[in-house]
A and B are shown apart, each in its own frame.
Chain A
Amino acid sequence: MSDPILSRRAILQGGGALVVSFSLLPRAAAAAPPLPPALPTRGLPKSVAGDEVDGFLAIGADGRVTVFSGKVDLGTGVKTALKQMAAEELDLPMGAVSIVQGDTGLTPDQGPTYGSLSIQNGGAQIRQAAATARAALLGLAADRLGVPAAGLALKDGAIGGIPFADLLKDKRFALKVDADAPLKDPSRYALVGKSVARIDIPGKVTGRFTYIHDLKVPGMVHGRVVRPPTIGARLEAVDDAAALAMPGVVKVVREGNFLAIVAQTEWGAIKAAEALRPRWSAWAGLPEQDKLWQHVRATRVAKDDVTSAVGDVAAALPQAAKMLVATYDFAIHTHGSIGPSCAVAEFKDGRLTCWSASQMTHALRRQLAAMTGLPTEDVRCIYLEGSGCYGRNGHEDAAADATLLARAVGRPVRVQWSRADEHGWDPKGPPTLIDLKGGLDAAGAIVAWTSEFFIPEGGAGNVPLVAAELAGLPHETALAPGNIVHNSALPYALPNVRTVCHRLAETPLRPSWIRTPGRMQNTFANEAFLDELAAAAGVDPADYRMRLLNDPRGAEVLTRALALAKWESRPSPRAETGGDVLRGRGVSYVRYELYRTYVAGVAEVEVDRATGAIRVPRFVVVQDCGQVINPDGVRNQLEGNVIQTVSRVLKEEVTFDRGAVTSLDWASYPILAFPEVPEVVMELIDRPTEKPWGAGEPAAAIVPSAISNAVFDATGVRLRSVPFTKAKMLEGLRGV
């Protein structure tokens, strides 16, 4: 069974070095979750140091090992994969390892769970800690037995018959993680590289898994935030008489523009919130949506990031025999979590405990401390899985809502966002506008490439908390859209290249990272424009790429994708354009962030000439992310990533009026439904002796361009604006 949070037994068996007190939750459900331990008592904390073995590992009296991971499972299966990695280094079966994730009282700060780094960075740290532990245990056993360590082996939690726990004084390693501790030889792997079944799935398919939405804390009440009708509205007054008269209402909470109601029951809170009569000031600070791209182009540039500069574009471009110019754009998107964000907060003895599905509990801890004025050490954030988030969605904001309400009513408060809260108020993937120019010589080779990306400034910091903003409490003011400059530069060898990101001082809606932030939008423009150049050169687009690739691993994924797709070499577009349904294929390639995972893919499309509807019946994808920890887990991620991105490309766009988001449900922000889902044909290239790289994000980068290229192949129409709606397709078809 799964172990979403550390079991009390595991902690106890972890020995006296660990946590000494427990907050007991009611065994309400038939299968209540293991109990989360309380804040470690001061003076006797479990190490949460990221450079200590004890930060990552604890060994119980029975030899069971608990892994403490700062990276969390966002529904991607990394919990299983991280267990595999730790168990492998310690020669343990999966069942002998438990895992605790994202608990600031127990787990090291390994950075937020984003950027396809859970295995690559987080797993590598845990693996190194386990390797250090392995070496230490072997040394201790050698001393005890009076034999050389080289002749000893780990077996079922013991060495030479001595259990791990007996080898350790106080059950602690008291060791720094040794970067040079030898790692197990991949040829001896028993678990890594195997499709071990995910530990969470049996619970999830039988209703026994505890999501954040299922958590109950004794005395818990339910909060509901009443959002302003426009983003910048001020709360001028509120008539709460009718709401307060409703059964079970605990309190109306008003702090600045933060308005909420707390009630005994969840439904009671929903109904009471509807009965509140707030008066808000008018606000209309958003641009007109149909002039979004003019607005983006006119936004003040805070700084320029030059992401590549090779040769002399200014000199080479005018010399080109042929020059192409194009502008691409990618709409504002939302994360689209199926379950709206949820959190529970409790103040006890002046300390805050906040349970949430935050992908960054350590950073959230600092944000909640700043918002409440509490010392950071008096805030504990505990992760429980939520609905998949695909980036920084509303989980942290729900945590802040719950925190303010718990403080206001002096009781634990659960906040469950509504669908409109999630669609309307989660931070958004910002609009991306890209201008490109390319020059060809007489033979069709690229002599110069230049591109300008208009994207908000900022990196992957903390996204300001909505509650703190509304309540006028301390919060960050910098934009945090993620590291969206990545993959603005090209993964190809060209003689003259200049790529520059104009970092905009503002963007219409609060930005954050959606899955594959920047890499997806930037690669869309790069790989579609490259296709335009290939077409101008009259060359097969796959051959054209192959000529530019000087990277053997990159060339291999591309070659294998073409073979898997049974790619027919010819220039695009197709010659024949008859019939009601036009069919085409398009290729795309990326090296993620230019230093890690390789992906190549081929989209097959069908375009209905009469309606403009685009279908993607099949998508072929090949990924090389180095060492594969769990092949089935990677395939699950890869396939899901392709399908999610097909949805983004064909359907998705956040809509807004001058005051707020207007796409507040699944009717106004539709996503791909079952009948529209492509068949995804996959191949993984496993390289057991290489480092593992990110697996969950990279493939999204190639999907938009592969579809654009396939549509061009089918119709001769180049789609440069995501989403590829029927209206855009029809407009293009009429223009042909």
Chain B
Amino acid sequence: MGQPVSLDVNGRAVSVRSDDPEVPLLYVLRNDLDLHGPRFGCGLGQCGACTVHVDGVAVRSCTTPLSSLRPDQKIVTLEGLGSADRPHPVQAAFIAEQAAQCGYCINGMIMQSAALLARSPNPDDAAIKRELAGNLCRCGTHSRILRAVKRAAASL
């Protein structure tokens, strides 16, 4: 089952094993750590559904090999941002704006925009759209998502 690999996920030190050190982080999070926030969408880094934070930066976990991660890097998933009872301001804003339909892309939308707001607290519409250009939504929830990000920015 391979050598144990230490990771810092949602503030917890965890140890995982894999036969293949090139396994993408997404599979480790979903299947070994039961973190279902990040979602499989394309496996190609094209859609953003799998987005997580690594040291505060939004990355595509479907194309991030386990071998590329160090134990001191802080990995945060949607679950690590907040819960339904104690949502992160971005999550709370998505609830307030009812910014989801099927919700499959929403993990990526929230993680990407939370990373944006962490480095740029007051982005204009164009900056938000640019930031989310690589996150695909098929249901057409874009306008609500945009409103939610602005609402979150105002509340931070």
Contact = CB atoms under 8 A, between A and B. Distances in A.
A671 B136 CA distance: 8
Given A207-B36, A640-B101, 14 more contacts: A201-B95, A204-B106, A207-B38, A207-B79, A208-B36, A211-B104, A338-B138, A340-B41, A385-B102, A640-B140, A644-B140, A647-B140, A666-B136, A677-B140
22 contacts: A1-B84, A30-B79, A198-B98, A202-B95, A206-B78, A207-B36, A207-B79, A207-B107, A208-B36, A210-B36, A248-B19, A266-B31, A267-B24, A338-B104, A388-B104, A418-B43, A419-B42, A636-B98, A665-B42, A674-B142, A675-B130, A675-B133
Contacts of A674: 128-130, 132-133, 135, 142, 146
Contact of B36 (A205, A211, A267, A632): A211
B49 A338 contact: yes
Given A1-B84, A76-B101, A202-B84, A338 B137 contact: yes
A673 B136 contact: yes
Given A75-B101, A388-B138, A639-B140, A207 B20 contact: no
A419 to B, nearest CB: 4
A28 B36 CA distance: 11
B94 to A, nearest CB: 4
B36 A266 contact: no
Interface of B: 18-20, 23-24, 27, 30-31, 34-44, 46-47, 49, 77-79, 81-84, 87, 91, 94-95, 98-107, 110, 126, 128-130, 132-144, 146
Interface centre among B95, B99, B128, B132 (most CB of A within 10 A): B95
A410 B134 CA distance: 41
B140 A642 contact: yes
Interface string A191-228: 00000011011111111111101100000000000000
A232 interface: no
Contact of B140 (A77, A201, A641): A641
Is chain B's binding surface mostly helix, strand, loop or mixed?
loop
A390 interface: yes
A76 B99 CA distance: 12
Interface in A581-631: none
Interface residues of A, number: 64
A390 to B, nearest CB: 7
B41 A213 contact: no
A695 to B, nearest CB: 13
Interface string A352-389: 00000000000000000000000000000000011110
A247 interface: yes
A679 B147 CA distance: 12
Given A208-B79, A419-B43, A644-B138, A268 B19 contact: yes
B103 A675 contact: no
A203 B101 CA distance: 12
Contact of A387 (B31, B78, B104, B126): B104
Contact of B31 (A201, A265, A338): A265
A674 B130 CA distance: 7
Interface string A175-191: 00000000000000000
A674 B112 CA distance: 13
A452 B42 CA distance: 39
A339 interface: yes
Q: For the complex of A and B, list the 8 residue pairs with the smallest distance between their C-beta atoms, beginning with the closest.
A: A75-B102, A207-B37, A643-B140, A640-B140, A388-B102, A204-B103, A207-B78, A387-B104
Nearest to A416: B40
A206 B103 contact: no
A203 B102 CA distance: 12
A200 to B, nearest CB: 7
A675 B87 CA distance: 27
A636 B36 contact: no
A271 interface: yes
Nearest to A265: B31
Contact of A28 (B34, B91, B102): B34
Contacts of A266: 27, 31
Nearest to B82: A206
A697 to B, nearest CB: 13
A307 interface: no
B102 A387 contact: yes
A371 to B, nearest CB: 26
A339 B36 CA distance: 13
Contact of B110 (A205, A385, A632, A639): A205
Nearest to A422: B42
Contacts of A632: 98
Contacts of A644: 138-140
A57 to B, nearest CB: 27
A337 interface: yes
Contacts of B27: 265-267
Contact of A77 (B87, B101, B143): B101
Interface string A651-672: 0000000000000011100010
Contact of B47 (A208, A643, A666): A666
A339 B110 contact: no
B76 to A, nearest CB: 11
Contacts of B31: 265-267
A388 B133 contact: no
A310 interface: no
Nearest to A195: B98
A324 interface: no
A74 interface: yes
Given A198-B98, A201-B94, A339 B143 contact: no
B144 A636 contact: yes
Contacts of B130: 674-675
Interface centre among A207, A671, A679, A680 (most CB of B within 10 A): A207
Nearest to A642: B140
Interface string A258-280: 00000001111001000000000
Nearest to A268: B19
Contacts of A74: 102
A336 interface: yes
A53 B150 CA distance: 46
Given A29-B36, A671-B138, A675-B133, A206 B41 contact: no
B143 A639 contact: yes
